[in-house]
Amino acid sequence: MASTDLKENKASDDEQTGTAMSGAQMILKALTDLGVDTIFGYPGGAVLPIYDEIFKQDKIKHILVRHEQGAVHAAEGYARTTGKPGVVLVTSGPGATNAVTGLTDAMLDSIPLICITGQVARHLIGNDAFQEADTVGITRPCTKHNYLVKETEHVPDVIYEAFYVATNGRPGPVVIDMPKDVQIEKAEYKRSGHQEHRTYRPQVDGDDAALRKAARAIAAGVRPIIYSGGGIINAGPEASELLTEFAKMAGIPVTSTLMGLGGFPASDHQFLGMLGMHGTWEANHAMHDCDVMLAIGARFDDRVTGRIDAFSPGSTKIQVDIDLSSINKNVAVDIPIIADAASALRSLIKIWKEEKLSANQPPLVAWWDQIERWRMKNCLSYTDSDKMIMPQKALERLQHHIEGKQAIIATEVGQHQMWAAQFLKFDKPNHWLTSGGLGTMGYGLPAAIGAQIAFPDRLCIDVSGDASFQMNLQELGTISQYNLPVKIFIMNNEYMGMVRQWQDLSYDGRRSHSYSDSLPDFEKLAEAYGIKGMSVEDPAKLDETIKEMIEHDGPVLLDCRVAKIENCFPMVPAGAAHNEMLLAGDVIDKPKDDEALAVV
């Protein structure tokens, strides 16, 4: 009997000592022992034995989604808000292939997930059996690791190892493909004793010499900046506190990627807002003009750098990342540090104090003066209207009404997502759910469901668009079934707004298939699912409607009809450098050449 290393469920351990269990029972036991409280899933033929075990127990709650993609995004929302891995259960074949978009999304945004997929019985594998797909083959490039379990006695060890792999190092999704006969076959429940993978040991602590060099470079900087990313969120809430402590100590401005929002308090004066394609004027200019850059948990994505040969020329670049392959991938780094963000920040703070680096630091007055001048550009300004609701205004008012409520915000993908990133303020990590790397429309609604399951009493809002919403609207059924008080805030402009914006800017306004024709009546759609539906079109009624949405005890869908043809600014246009931003009202040229046009 193994499992002596487990703290939870000792009693159940003793009961089952030496007894034979089915593979399905082993799965439930291992998940329970690992502290899993929620599974997002959808049943089917190849997972019936597991569903039968779920039926017989009450320790793990199963949330029935309406589509497997929804299960994975919900698990992402759960993982992103709790810091624990999300768990998904789907059947073979179409169940697994429907999960692929969610897995890829989790891969690109480094979200820890365990996805158990059913598989046809071992003797049928390779026979084109009913609902058979080569799940390990299909998911190999979109998971951190995957397993096909061929021996029933391996089930517990594989599950423990999968949790270790998903949550250590750079987090990511792990698939465990379970043939149906393995779920049925009985064997002794044995653990080999080790929790981790045989050889996989990510480096957590950075090299001391490199960290010292980095601290001194930051202290010597005349125009230093911190560029923080999703790695801060993945490193846990402590990393955010350490980031804040370090930035305060050194008096340095901080900008954040889309994925890193909340890692540093947005209300802090040292925060410059998001950087990148729709980042703020001050953040992008400060990145371009800085002389020392500390990139931490961020990967110099093309949406951040703009034209890469013009990205922050002349700065000394320090990059802290847990993944070696993120370093020197797009941009040459001067001081690379392989480390967990929290560990590296702890060291930087220690070194800063030890070496009394504040004393050596040149005054940053001129740098902050320059930053204030950029800020005065007021780059997020827009022309308000009393005839229609401007999308920016809708989010400003939403921000006003959720102020201090610790709301969790999920988004879909497109203009509304960028406006949400610009206008909503996150002071704490784990409150912002968005699909950054893959840009998955349809992510937000299920992600908000996952967050609401994890935090039943918190205000969870899906800021959505009319087009994105339709990509996973079937999850209204899940919201209704579990009576989840999710608020769905659809910024309805009757367009795939970002596609329309690019067509207007780069394709002479030929709006090819970007109009959302035949939209449903969203209010009635919500009502069809037994959810309160609302709509607003009059700017004068915006505040009272938002207030009513938030105060309603239960799920609400608000169809917020916003201005149809509004572009999202600032914008770094295709093929431009990150300091060549367009602002509202600028005369906009078409991309200079085909090469620029290709940099989408």
Partner 1 sequence: MDGANMKEIGPIARHTISVIVDNEAGVLARVIGLFSGRGYNIESLTVSTVDTAHETSRITVVTSGTRMVIEQIKAQLDRLVPVHKVADLTIEGDYVSRDLALVKVAGVGEKRVEALRLAEAFRAQVVDASRDSFVFELTGAANKLDAFVDLMSELGLVEVARTGAVALARGSDAL
Is position 238 annotated as part of the catalytic site?
no
**Minimum separation from the CB atom of position 450 to partner 1 (A):** 25
* Active-site residue identified among 16, 29, 40, 68: 68
Pick 170 or 487: Cβ nearer partner 1: 170
What does R_g of the chain's alpha carbons equal in angstroms?
A: 25
Pick 197 or 532: Cβ nearer partner 1: 197
Q: Is residue 284 close enough to count as binding partner 1 by CB under 8 A?
A: no
Q: How many angstroms separate the CA atoms of 299 and 327, rounded? A: 7
| 3 state DSSP class of 262 | coil
Chain positions 120 to 159 lying near partner 1, rule: CB under 8 A, are: 136-137, 140-141, 144-146, 148
Q: Show the tokens assigned to 172.
A: 């990511």
Chain positions 331 to 360 lying near partner 1, rule: CB under 8 A, are: 331-332, 334
Q: What are phi and psi of 258, to 5 degrees?
A: -55, -45
Q: Is residue 317 close enough to count as binding partner 1 by CB under 8 A?
A: yes
**Minimum separation from the CB atom of position 477 to partner 1 (A):** 36
Contacts of 511 (CB under 8 A, 6+ apart): 495, 500, 503, 504
| Contact residue for partner 1 among 11, 128, 199, 594 (CB under 8 A) | 199
Q: Is residue 216 close enough to count as binding partner 1 by CB under 8 A?
A: no
Pick 220 or 499: Cβ nearer partner 1: 220
**Minimum separation from the CB atom of position 467 to partner 1 (A):** 29
The alpha carbon torsion through 478, 484, 490, 495 (nearest 10 deg) reads -10
Is position 130 annotated as part of the catalytic site?
yes
Pick 140 or 356: Cβ nearer partner 1: 140
* Active-site residue identified among 180, 317, 393, 487: 180
**Minimum separation from the CB atom of position 125 to partner 1 (A):** 12
- Quick one: the chain helix, strand, coil %, rounded to 5? 40, 15, 40
| Contact residue for partner 1 among 9, 330, 370, 481 (CB under 8 A) | 330
In this structure, the strands spanning 20-22 and 186-188 are: antiparallel
- Find, among 258, 128, 282, the residue nearest to 271 by Cα: 282
Q: Is residue 315 close enough to count as binding partner 1 by CB under 8 A?
A: yes
Q: List C-alpha distances in Å: 285 to 100, 175, 217, 424, 555.
A: 38, 42, 20, 21, 41
Q: How many angstroms separate the CA atoms of 489 and 108, rounded? A: 26
Q: How many angstroms separate the CA atoms of 341 and 349, rounded? A: 12
* Active-site residue identified among 130, 151, 405, 527: 130
**Minimum separation from the CB atom of position 296 to partner 1 (A):** 17
Q: Is residue 207 close enough to count as binding partner 1 by CB under 8 A?
A: no
Q: What are phi and psi of 290, to 5 degrees?
A: -65, 160
Contacts to partner 1 by CB under 8 A: 136-137, 140-141, 144-146, 148, 165, 169-170, 197-200, 308-309, 311-317, 323-325, 327-332, 334
